[in-house]
C-alpha cells in the first residue's frame, strides 16, 4: 500500500512538473474561447484582422536577424523590436487559425537567433550600467524575451524536441542566466527596469518549467525578497497605488506587471496575485489614469515625454485585464473605445464583448484626488485639483512626492496647470528624442542632466541658484516633503498645501495652492501662496514656465534685443537666456495668450523684486532644448511670501475678429500678515472683488478654531485655511 502511495505521489509530482502549452497569456481555454467567439465582437475582430493582415504581409518579405550594432532608433535596434513583435503575433495566429505558416515563421526566426545569440558579447553601443547583447540596454532585451517566450510557448507542442532543446540551450536559458548573473543588481532593483527583467525570467521559467527562474523572479536573485516581483508590488506603489516614478512611468511599468500577473494567475493561482496587497494592481492602474489630462496625455513630471498618452500600447492590455479581473467597470469602455483596439487575449475578448453589449457607457471620471507616495504612504505625495467638464477642464497638479528613483527631478513643491486641453504652466519633462538616432542615439540628452533635472527648470523655488539638495539624489530620495492639508470637497474652493524643510539647509518652504471659483469670474483662478522662512538672507527665484504668447505687462522692463546673457553659469541657469528684466512698484501683472483664452499672473511685487523674462536654449550648440519661455521672480530676503494668482480670462476669436476681457479681473494682491502661526493675504479686483485668505501655518487640524487680529479687524475661522469674500 505504501509503495502504491509513493508511486501515486511521484506520478502526481511529475504531472505537475509538465507544463501544458500555451500557458502564459494564451492558454488552452483562452484559445478555445477566442476561436469560438472572435468574430462576434467587432473590436476584437478588427484588432485580430489588423494583426493578421500585418503578419501576413511580413511573411511575404525576406527575414532579417541582423548582428546588433545600433542604439535606440537605429536599424538593428528597430529590427529586433520588430522581430519580437512579429513572432508574438505569429504565435497568436498559429494558435487561433492552426495555420502552420505562422509556426514555421517563428521556428525559422528562432533558428537564426539560436545561431547568433551564443556569439554575442555586450552590445557595442551599450550603456555602462545595464548593457544588453541584442540591444544597447537590457531593458529592450527583457521586452524581447517577454514577447519571444510567448511566441515559443504558442508553438511549443508543434516543435520537435531537438528544436526545443536548441532554443532553450542557445537563447532562453543563457539570456536568463545573463540577467541573473551579469545583471544581478538590475534584476533585484526596485525600479521599472527590474520589473521587466523579473517578468522576463519568470515567464521563461513558466514555459521551460524551471522552478528556480520562477522563484527568483518572485523573490529576488538571492530569494531574500530584496528584489523580485512580489517586492516590486510591495515597494514601488504607495498604499493607494501611486507609482513612485510618476504616471508616465507607471504607464510603462504596468505592462510587465499585468503581463506577469496574468501569467501567474494562469499558472500559480495560489498566489492570488490580483488580490495581493489589497488589489494593488487595480489601484495602480486607476491612479495612473488619474495622472492624465483630459486629452489622455500623462502629466509629465520627472523624466517624462509629453507625447505619451493612455492610448499607448502598454495600457491596452492593462485596461482589458482590469476590466476582466476587477468587476467590469463600464467607465473603462470609454478608454477602450479611444484606444480602438483590444489585446488578443481572453481579457481582450471579454472587454470587446462588453463594449458590444453595453447600452450606455458612462464617461471616464477625472477627479480631484490626492495620492500618498512611498510604500508606507509617508513619502509625501501628489495633489490634483480639477474643475469643469472634459471639454474644458482646469487641472492643477501639485508635486510634493519623493524623488522618483533614477527618473526623478529636483523639483520639490513644483506644480503644473492645464486648461483648454493644453498645458498652460508646463513641466519641461525629459530632454530626450526617443529613438531618434541623430539625437544622441535616442537616449537621454546631456541637457537632461544639465538642465531638465535641475530645480530651475520647474515651477518652484530656487535658493541661491542651487538645486534641491545640491543635486544629490540620495538626499532627495530620503527627505521628501510632507502634505500639510488637502481638501476638494467644495468645487468652488479646493485647496492643498505641503511643506519642505530639507531641500535647502536653514530654509523652510511652505506652499499652498487652491482652485477658487466665484460668481464674479468666468472661471476659477489658481491661488499660489509660497511662504519661505530663514534666519539668513538668500536669493529666492520663483520661475513660471508659461505656454503661449506674451501680450502685456503692467510694468516697465528692458528687453535685450541686441545682446543676451544667461541667467547664470551652472545648475541649469546656464541654459536660460535673459530676454528682459524689470521691476514693479506694487502688484505685477503679466498676461499671455494661449489658443482662445488669455492668462495672467498677478503677483505681489515691490521695487526690490526683480522680474525676468527668460527663454530656454542658451549654451545649447546642438539645439537639443525647446525654446520655451518663462517668467522668474527674484527676491533677496530672509523671510518672504510669494503670493500669486493665475487667472484664465477673456476670449480671442480670430475668425470672428473679436477680443473680450483681455485684462484680468484682479488688480492688487498683498500679504497682510505673516508669522509662524498665520498668513493673511488681501486680494482686490474689479466688480467689487475683495477677498481675505487666512492660513494656519502651524495647525492643520480641520476642526481647530483660529482667531487673528490685523489692525482693528478681528478674524476667526475653523480649519487650516479659509477665504472671506
Kindly report, residue by residue over 151-196, the tens digit of the pLDDT.
999 999 999 999 999 999 999 999 999 999 999 999 999 999 999 9
If you average pLDDT over residues 201-221, what whole number do you get? 98
The pLDDT of residue 129: 67
Integer Cα distance of 109 and 103 in angstroms: 10
Is 602 found in the same domain as 456? yes
Instruction: Tell me which residue has cell 545595464.
Output: 130
DSSP secondary structure of 62-122: ----PPP---TTSHHHHHHHHHHHHHHHHHHHHHHH--HHHHHHHHHHHHHHHHHGGG--S
- Are 136 and 441 a contacting pair, CB within 8 Å? yes
Domain boundary among 205, 235, 265: 235
Grid cell for residue 363:
464617461
pLDDT value at 492 more than 70? yes
SS3 for 147-214 is HHHHHHHHHCCCCCHHHHHHHHHHHHHHHHHHHHHCCHHHHCCCCHHHHHHHHHHHHHHHHHCCHHHH
- Can you give the pLDDT at residue 18? 56
The crossing angle, in degrees rounded to 10, of helices 211-219 and 192-208 is 160
Q: With a cut of 70, say whether residue 326 has pLDDT above it.
A: yes
- 64-117 pLDDT, tens digit per residue, is 999 999 988 899 999 999 999 999 999 999 999 999 999 999 999 999 999 999
The CA distance from 261 to 266, in Å, is 9
Decide if 285 contacts 318 (C-beta within 8 A).
yes
Q: What is the CA radius of gyration of the chain?
A: 28
- Cα separation values, 441 from 306, 430, 438, Å: 19, 15, 6
How far apart CA 503 and CA 470 sit, in angstroms, is 8
Give the model's pLDDT for residue 9.
34
Residue 672: CATH number of its domain: 2.70.98.70
Task: Decide if 196 is inside a domain.
Answer: yes
User: Under a CB-based contact definition with an 8 Å cutoff, are residues 593 and 661 in contact?
Assistant: no
| Average confidence (pLDDT) over 190-204 | 97
Rounded distance, CA 481 to CA 468, Å?
A: 12
Cβ contact 386:418 at 8 Å? no
**Final residue in a domain of this structure, among 204, 235, 266:** 235
pLDDT of residue 230: 98
Place of cell 525629459: 430
User: CA-CA distances (angstroms) from residue 10 to 6, 19, 212?
Assistant: 6, 16, 20
Q: Are residues 70 and 213 in the same domain?
A: yes
Q: Determine what percent of the chain is predicted with pLDDT higher than 90.
A: 94
Kindly state the cell numbers that stand for 194.
Answer: 527590474
* Residue the block writes with cell 532554443: 167
Q: How many domains does the chain have?
A: 2
Cα separation, 132 vs 427, whole angstroms: 32
Place of cell 522668474: 632
Residue of 84, 113, 167, 249 marked catalytic: 249
- Residue 582 bridge partners (DSSP): 557, 611
So what's the pLDDT on residue 429? 97
Q: How confident is the model at residue 10 (pLDDT cuts 50, 70, 90)?
A: very low
| CA–CA separation, 40 and 58 (whole Å) | 26
Per-residue CA distances from 197 to 82, 169, 495 (Å): 20, 19, 41
pLDDT of residue 73: 86
DSSP annotation of 548: S
Find the helix or strand (DSSP H, E) in which 418 lies.
Answer: strand 414-419
Residue 244 near residue 291 (C-beta atoms within 8 A): no
- Domain containing 677: what range? 369-724
Provide the mean pLDDT of the chain.
Answer: 95
pLDDT in tens, 498-551: 999 999 999 999 999 999 999 999 999 999 999 999 999 999 999 999 999 999
Question: Has residue 173 been placed in a domain?
Answer: yes
Task: Give domain status of residue 227, yes or no.
Answer: yes
Give the pLDDT score at 71. Answer: 87
Residue pair 394/524 in contact by the 8 Å Cβ criterion: yes
Q: What is the pLDDT of residue 1?
A: 41
Does residue 326 have an active-site annotation?
Answer: no
Cα 256 from Cα 195, distance rounded (Å)? 7
* CATH number, position 208: 1.50.10.100
d(CA 288, CA 195): 17
Is residue 449 within 8 Å of 408, Cβ to Cβ? no
Residue 649 pLDDT greater than 70, yes or no: yes
- Residue 547 maps to a domain: yes
For position 126, what pLDDT does the model report?
Answer: 86
Does 502 map to a domain?
yes
Q: Distance from CA of residue 345 to its chain's centroid?
A: 26
Q: Distance (Å, rounded) from C-alpha 324 to C-alpha 305?
A: 30
Rounded Cα gap, residues 298 and 308, in angstroms: 6
CB neighbours of residue 557 within 10 Å: 15
Q: Are the CB atoms for 286 and 241 separated by under 8 Å?
A: yes
| DSSP secondary structure string for all residues of 487-504 | EEEETTEEEEEEEESSSS
Catalytic status, residue 407: yes
CA distance 397 to 417: 6
Q: How many CB atoms lie within 10 A of CB 719?
A: 18
What pLDDT does 386 receive? 99
Confidence of residue 128 (pLDDT cuts 50, 70, 90): low
Q: Which pLDDT tens digit goes with each residue over 22-69?
A: 999 999 999 999 999 989 999 999 999 999 999 999 999 999 999 999
**pLDDT > 70? residue 17:** no
Task: Please give the Cα distance from 20 to 138 (Å, whole number).
Answer: 29
Residue where one domain finishes, among candidates 235, 254, 270: 235
**9 lies in a domain?**
no
**Grid cell at residue 55:** 503578419
Among the options 219, 407, 454, 458, which is catalytic?
A: 407
pLDDT at 280 > cutoff 50: yes
Q: Say how far apart CA 87 and CA 109 lie, in whole Å.
A: 8
Query: pLDDT at position 6, please?
Result: 35
Let me know if residue 568 belongs to a domain: yes
What is the Cα–Cα distance from 658 to 267, expressed in whole angstroms? 65
> Quick check: 443 pLDDT over 90?
no
Amino acid at each position: 500500500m505504501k509503495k502504491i502511495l509513493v508511486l501515486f505521489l511521484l506520478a502526481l509530482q511529475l504531472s505537475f512538473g509538465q507544463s501544458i502549452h500555451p500557458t502564459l497569456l494564451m492558454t488552452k481555454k483562452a484559445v478555445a474561447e477566442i476561436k469560438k467567439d472572435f468574430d462576434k465582437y467587432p473590436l476584437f475582430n478588427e484588432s485580430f484582422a489588423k494583426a493578421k493582415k500585418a503578419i501576413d504581409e511580413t511573411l511575404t518579405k525576406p527575414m532579417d536577424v541582423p548582428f546588433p550594432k545600433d542604439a535606440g532608433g537605429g536599424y538593428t535596434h528597430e529590427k529586433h523590436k520588430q522581430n519580437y513583435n512579429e513572432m508574438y503575433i505569429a504565435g497568436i495566429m498559429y494558435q487561433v487559425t492552426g495555420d502552420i505558416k505562422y509556426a514555421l515563421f517563428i521556428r525559422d526566426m528562432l533558428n537564426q537567433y539560436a545561431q547568433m545569440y551564443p556569439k554575442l558579447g555586450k552590445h557595442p553601443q551599450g550603456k555602462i550600467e545595464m548593457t544588453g547583447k541584442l540591444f544597447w540596454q537590457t531593458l529592450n532585451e527583457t521586452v524581447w524575451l517577454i514577447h519571444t517566450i510567448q511566441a515559443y510557448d504558442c508553438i511549443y507542442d508543434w516543435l520537435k524536441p531537438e528544436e526545443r532543446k536548441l532554443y532553450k540551450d542557445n537563447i532562453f536559458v543563457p539570456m536568463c542566466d545573463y540577467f541573473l548573473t551579469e545583471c544581478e543588481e538590475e534584476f533585484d532593483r526596485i525600479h521599472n527596469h527590474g520589473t521587466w527583467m523579473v517578468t522576463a525570467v519568470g515567464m521563461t521559467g513558466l514555459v521551460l518549467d524551471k522552478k528556480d527562474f520562477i522563484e527568483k523572479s518572485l523573490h529576488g536573485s538571492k530569494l531574500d525578497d530584496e528584489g523580485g516581483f512580489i517586492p516590486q508590488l510591495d515597494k514601488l506603489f504607495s498604499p493607494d497605488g501611486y507609482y513612485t516614478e510618476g504616471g508616465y512611468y507607471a504607464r510603462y511599468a504596468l505592462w510587465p506587471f499585468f503581463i506577469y500577473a496574468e501569467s501567474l494567475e494562469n499558472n500559480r493561482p495560489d498566489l492570488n496575485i490580483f488580490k495581493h496587497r489589497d488589489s494593488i494592481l487595480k489601484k495602480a492602474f486607476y491612479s495612473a489614469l488619474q495622472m492624465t489630462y483630459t486629452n489622455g496625455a500623462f502629466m509629465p513630471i520627472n523624466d517624462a515625454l509629453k507625447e505619451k498618452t493612455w492610448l499607448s500600447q502598454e495600457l491596452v492590455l492593462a485596461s482589458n485585464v482590469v476590466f476582466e479581473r476587477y468587476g467590469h467597470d463600464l467607465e473603462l469602455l470609454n478608454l477602450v473605445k479611444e484606444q480602438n483596439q483590444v489585446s488578443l487575449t481572453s481579457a481582450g475578448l471579454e472587454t470587446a464583448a462588453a463594449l458590444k453589449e453595453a447600452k450606455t457607457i458612462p464617461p471616464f471620471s477625472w477627479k480631484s484626488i490626492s495620492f500618498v507616495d512611498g510604500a508606507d504612504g509617508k513619502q509625501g505625495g501628489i495633489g490634483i485639483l480639477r474643475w469643469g467638464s472634459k471639454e474644458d477642464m482646469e487641472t492643477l497638479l501639485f508635486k510634493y512626492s519623493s524623488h522618483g528613483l533614477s527618473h526623478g527631478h529636483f523639483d520639490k513643491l513644483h506644480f503644473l496647470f492645464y486648461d483648454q486641453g493644453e498645458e498652460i504652466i508646463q513641466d519641461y519633462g525629459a530632454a530626450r528624442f526617443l529613438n531618434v538616432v541623430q539625437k544622441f542615439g535616442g537616449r537621454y540628452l546631456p541637457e537632461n542632466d544639465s538642465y531638465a533635472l535641475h530645480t530651475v527648470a520647474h515651477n518652484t523655488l530656487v535658493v541661491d541658484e542651487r538645486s534641491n539638495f545640491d543635486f544629490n539624489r540620495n538626499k532627495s530620495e530620503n527627505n521628501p516633503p510632507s502634505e500639510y492639508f488637502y481638501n476638494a470637497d467644495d468645487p468652488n474652493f479646493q485647496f492643498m498645501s505641503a511643506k519642505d524643510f530639507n531641500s535647502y539647509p536653514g530654509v523652510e518652504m511652505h506652499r499652498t495652492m487652491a482652485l477658487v471659483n466665484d460668481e464674479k469670474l468666468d472661471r476659477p483662478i489658481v491661488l499660489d501662496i509660497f511662504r519661505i522662512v530663514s534666519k539668513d538672507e538668500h536669493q529666492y527665484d520663483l520661475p513660471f514656465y508659461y505656454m503661449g504668447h506674451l501680450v502685456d505687462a503692467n510694468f516697465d522692463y528692458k528687453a535685450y534685443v541686441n545682446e543676451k546673457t544667461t541667467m547664470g553659469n551652472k545648475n541649469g541657469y546656464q541654459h536660460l537666456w535673459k530676454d528682459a528684466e524689470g521691476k514693479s512698484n506694487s502688484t505685477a501683472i503679466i498676461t499671455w495668450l494661449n489658443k482662445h483664452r488669455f492668462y495672467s499672473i498677478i503677483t505681489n511685487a515691490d521695487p526690490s523684486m526683480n522680474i525676468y523674462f527668460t527663454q530656454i536654449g542658451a549654451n545649447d550648440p546642438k539645439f537639443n532644448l525647446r525654446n520655451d519661455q518663462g517668467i522668474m521672480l527674484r527676491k533677496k530676503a530672509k523671510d518672504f511670501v510669494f503670493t500669486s494668482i493665475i487667472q484664465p480670462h477673456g476670449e480671442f476669436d480670430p475668425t470672428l475678429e473679436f477680443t473680450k476681457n483681455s485684462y484680468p479681473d484682479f488688480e492688487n494682491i498683498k500679504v497682510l500678515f505673516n508669522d509662524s502661526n498665520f498668513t493673511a493675504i488681501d486680494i482686490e479686483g474689479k466688480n467689487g472683488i475683495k477677498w481675505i485668505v487666512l492660513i494656519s501655518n502651524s495647525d492643520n487640524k480641520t476642526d481647530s478654531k483660529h482667531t487673528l487680529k490685523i489692525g482693528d479687524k478681528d478674524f476667526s475661522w475653523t480649519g487650516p485655511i479659509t477665504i472671506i469674500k
